[in-house]
A = this chain, B = another copy of it.
Amino acid sequence: MKHIFLSLQYDGTNYSGWQRQPNVVTIQGLIEEALFKITGHAAALSGAGRTDAGVHALGQTASFFTGSRLTPDTVQKALNALLPGDIRVCSAVYVSDDFHCRFSARRKRYFYVILNDSPASPFIYRYAWQVKHALDIAAMQQAAMSLVGRYDFKSFCASDTDVDNTVREVLGITIEAQSSIAFMNAEIKGKFITITIEADGFLRHMVRNITGTLVDVGRGKTCAEDIEYILNAKDRKKAGMTAPGRGLFLEKVYY
């Protein structure tokens, strides 16, 4: 058996997330179906992270075992020929049998894009959360500092998950404002706010719940000092709303 590692990009707009589920179209499901056609056998694809519905990836990774003698290069070309244009395999290589996309990862980076109080653009509405309230970026930055470190992030974890250990180490959070983004050879003007979070691992909805809470701080609904209290409460109900999936990108998985 050979073990093949894929790096992937996708636009999550049209999918019910990464994870294969009955009756809905998912990214893992489509790739597994394509692998079945290519290799002639069922292959279980193991991904680095289960992105939610609507979430995008610039650097998702996944791997599978196969008895087929097809080279990684052939697998990449065949997958790109079979998959829809919004899911692309950027590279495929052999990896050792004991490599695991999720457990071997040292850290991951996500970013979240907010379009603050600007006319929406038809070209970025799939990729940003439009927040109309004025946001105080300095307050958001101050609040974010309280989340950097090794903490129990239970307050920021979806309540319907069954993980035992909700302790994660957040290595850094940066919050940046931009007055425009480049789109093809034009510029889309707007007040963009990007939140980038790097951690040794992420809980379900963690980036989206942190984003929702930081937006509450930016609006003045929550003060920056409350973040510590929210963390200590270990109670999902104390944190802010879950920001929509469409603004979130899995940027990179580090091994």
Q: Which residues of A approach B to under 8 Å, CB–CB? A: 9-11, 56, 58, 80, 85-88, 90, 111, 113, 119-128, 176, 178, 181-186, 194, 196, 249, 251
Contact = CB atoms under 8 A, between A and B. Distances in A.
A128 B185 CA distance: 12
B184 A119 contact: no
A88 B184 contact: no
B181 A122 contact: no
A113 B194 contact: no
The 4 closest A-B pairs by CB, nearest first: A182-B182, A85-B125, A11-B122, A86-B122
Nearest to A252: B186
Contacts of A9: 121-123
B186 A88 contact: no
B249 A125 contact: no
Chain copies in complex: 2
A14 to B, nearest CB: 10
B184 A121 contact: no
28 contacts: A9-B121, A9-B122, A11-B122, A11-B123, A58-B186, A85-B120, A85-B122, A85-B125, A85-B126, A86-B122, A86-B125, A87-B122, A88-B120, A88-B121, A88-B122, A90-B119, A111-B184, A113-B184, A127-B184, A176-B185, A178-B185, A181-B182, A181-B184, A181-B185, A182-B182, A182-B183, A185-B196, A186-B249
Contact of A194 (B11, B125, B185): B185
